[in-house]
Amino acid sequence: MTEANDYRNSFPSDLATSLNNELNVTKEYLSLSLARIVQFAN
C-alpha cells in the first residue's frame, strides 16, 4: 500500500514533467511541419 501512496505523492510533478516534455515535442514537431510547408509553398 505504501507503494501506491508513494506513486500518488510523486504523481503531480511527474505529470508536470511529462506534460512539459510533450509540449516541447509538439512545439518541435509543429515548427518542423511549418518549415516544411513554407519550403513547399516556395
C-alpha cell at 25: 515535442
Instruction: List pLDDT tens digits, range 6-33.
Output: 665 666 788 888 999 999 999 999 999 9
pLDDT at 27: 95
Domain ranges of the chain: 1-42
Give yes or no for residue 42 having a pLDDT over 70: yes
Give the predicted TM-score (pTM) of the model: 0.55
Where do we find the cell 512545439?
27
